[in-house]
A and B are shown apart, each in its own frame.
Chain A
Amino acid sequence: MTATAPRRAGAAIYEGTRIPSPTPTVLVTSPELAATGDILTVNFGPNHPSTHGVLRLVVDLYGEDVTGLAAVIGYLHTGFEKNMEYKTWWKAIPYAPRMDYVSFQNNEYVFVGAVEKLLDIDIPPKAVWMRTLLLELNRIHSHLVWIGTSALELGAISMFWYAFREREQILDLFELVAGYRMHTRYFQVGGLAEDVPRGFYPETRKFCDWMPKAIDDYETLLTRNQIWLERTEGIGLLSRDDAIALGQSGPVLRASGVDWDLRRAEPYLAYHQVDFRVPVFPTGDVYARYLVHMAEMRESVRIVEQCLDRLEHMEGEPWIADDRKVVLPPRHELHTSMESLIHHFKIVTEGFRVPEGEVYFPIESPRGELGCYVCSDGGPRPWRVKFRAPSFVALEATATCMQDALIADMIAIVGSLDTVMGEVDR
């Protein structure tokens, strides 16, 4: 096995393609090595603390070198998509955030957004800005969990405590808004389930003041840390063309030098009205993925601040669309209005109808392109729901990234792809 040569920024990450053939996701040990009889096949996972859940990797080892690899998934398959076909549209919403339980808000939005695209319903500005704010808070939350666990796996235990300290602050904000720390079910088709509670804006401001300092702390601990550099630099290489061919998205794609972000390329919500930078790094290794995550957290804080600037002037504005065929009527009307009572009863028992058709609605989740395909027959329940899970696709790149890797690098590489098994297996 050859050692990886040090690389400079701007140079090609590697020549040609490294995607295994004919099966792009399986790395096969070369027959010459297999003939030596010194190949040890190891089952890594599914119950290993650094596999981010229940990922199983069947690894061929020649000494410490990884010579063959196949990822085995499905241990967390729970049939979310099938279940959603048997729920009314609005009862299906809580399923979505439970798939990727780390970026729950993004998952919730992608389903709600897809349904709204079919319904062609207008969302009031307050809901648009509040959703943008929560999605970005959730992005910081997801990146914090990533940096905490990935660093922990490489031995930087203190990072875990620091990252989870700020994560608690974000979860407290979610609890303030929705009464739930995770899986908030705060997004309703048409807007938000409730108005923004008093005290949320000042608390979020406090967090925005604090967070950049916390990121400075993380960077002090890691960015120039010699051990961190040696564990992550030049590891898990993925070139620009291979990343696109393998369908990689999000931080993995941007760490391979592709300047691509759906928030900018196909803006949804209020992203065309906020100012943010898309961090791109050219080296395509684990370290570049780390840098992308760090830079994205800083940008997310900026977006949250811009959302707050708008939201603070929207006191008293509606937070959900005024469409009684889709949206539950205000609670107080149920005591005085027969119409409202009927609408409430019909929506809760029968569900609202969504026009016939099929849509694919993609957003930039913390892990990359999260898409939701929704098909309706015109009735109150989805005909078919399918999620394009970025983690699922990220795991397809393991065989390519793991070429010439050592077994110890495997932890760093799998960690850097930032997968959540709940979303992989659905």
Chain B
Amino acid sequence: MSDFDGVPGVVEVVERHGESTIVVEPAALRDAARHLRDEQGFNFLSDITAVDYLAWGEAGVSGYIGTPAGHDINEPMTQGYQAVPLAKRQRFAVNYHLLSISDRPRRVRLQTWLADGQSVQSVIPVWPTADWHEREAFDLMGITFAEHPNLRRILLDDDWEGHPLRKDYPIGGEPVRFSGEE
């Protein structure tokens, strides 16, 4: 029972930390976006954030160490493990933070879940500001946006390999080429 039941492709509406999140099917994303803009007055796209949930909840959540089973009195340094967070729907979440610039300001998060390699429709026809936000999500997280007219890297070099904000991106430093190697 919420204002957002009529959103096309809606999966669920979550209320947490004082914020509303509308989860929609990736295929219905642009319809949902258009519905929210035209019917609900969300005329302003604040931000697009892609999140990689690879290995979510596997590493132990408290301290730098911990075991999935929790505190083990016979194993030192495992104290403080609290709870494993709930599993996520897919590896990637794409969050669209929407705002209604009006006399009744409201915010909502439009969220869709993608597997690796799955793409989602671009929302540039709905909010032109999505252009660079989508390019950034592509560049750093490797999310592809179908029908984006200019989906190229934006922050990194054109010939960069990989998408650094992914959780499986190696962060061990850059390989150094020595002059003797060829």
Chain A residues with a Cβ under 8 A of chain B: 19, 22-26, 73-74, 77, 79, 81-82, 86, 117-118, 120, 244-247, 258, 260, 265-266, 350-351, 353, 356-360, 362, 369, 371, 373, 375, 377-380, 383-384, 386, 388, 392-393, 395-396, 425-426
11 more A-B residue pairs beyond the given contacts A353-B82, A360-B109, with a C-beta to C-beta distance below 8 A: A19-B128, A24-B128, A24-B131, A25-B132, A74-B154, A82-B165, A373-B47, A378-B61, A384-B165, A386-B47, A425-B155
Asked if B138 CB lies within 8 Å of chain A CBs, one says: no
**Interface contact tally, CB-CB below 8 A:** 136
| Least CB separation from B108: chain A residue | A360
The answer to whether B46 touches A369 (Cβ under 8 A) is yes
B101 neighbours in A (Cβ, 8 Å): 244, 258, 260
Asked if B64 and A378 make an inter-chain contact with CB atoms under 8 angstroms apart, the answer reads no
A371, B131: Cβ atoms under 8 Å?
A: no
Closest to B137 in A: A386
Does residue B127 face the partner (Cβ distance < 8 Å to A)?
Answer: yes
B28 at the interface (CB under 8 A from A): no
Task: Select which of A260, A350, A357, A371 is within 8 A of B63 by beta carbon.
Answer: A350
Q: Is B57 in contact with chain A by the CB < 8 A criterion? A: yes
Q: Which residues of B pack against A, CB within 8 Å?
A: 16-19, 21, 43-47, 49, 51-53, 56-57, 59-64, 80, 82-83, 85-86, 95, 97, 99, 101, 105, 107, 109, 124, 127-129, 131-132, 136, 140, 149-150, 153-157, 164-165, 171
- What separation, in Å, do the CA atoms of A239 and B18 have in the docked complex? 33
Which residues of chain B come closer than 8 Å to A386, judged between CB atoms?
47, 49
Residue in chain B with minimal CB distance to A22: B149
Which chain B positions have C-beta within 8 A of A25? Answer: 131-132, 150
- Taking a contact as CB atoms closer than 8 A, the residue among B19, B140, B153, B155 that contacts A359 in the complex is B19
A375 in contact with B51 (CB, 8 Å):
yes
Query: When A245-B129, A396-B129 are in contact, do A79 and B46 touch as well, CB less than 8 Å?
Result: no
Q: Which of A23, A247, A383 contacts B56 (CB 8 A)?
A: A383
Q: Which residues of B contact A260 (CB under 8 A)?
A: 101
Chain A residues with Cβ below 8 Å from B18 are 117
Is A82's CB under 8 angstroms from B63's CB? no
Complex-state Cα separation, A380 to B66, whole angstroms: 12
Once A19-B128, A379-B60 are accepted as A-B contacts, the answer to whether A77 and B17 lie under 8 Å apart by CB is no
CB within 8 Å for A393 and B56 given contacts A77-B156, A86-B171, A247-B44: no
**Contact across chains for A380 and B62 when beta carbons are under 8 A apart:** yes
- Specify which of A266, A357, A384, A388 is in contact with B47 (CB 8 Å cutoff): A388
A77 in contact with B44 given A360-B109, A379-B61, A384-B49 (CB within 8 Å) = no
Nearest 5 interchain pairs by C-beta: A247-B129, A24-B128, A388-B47, A379-B61, A74-B155
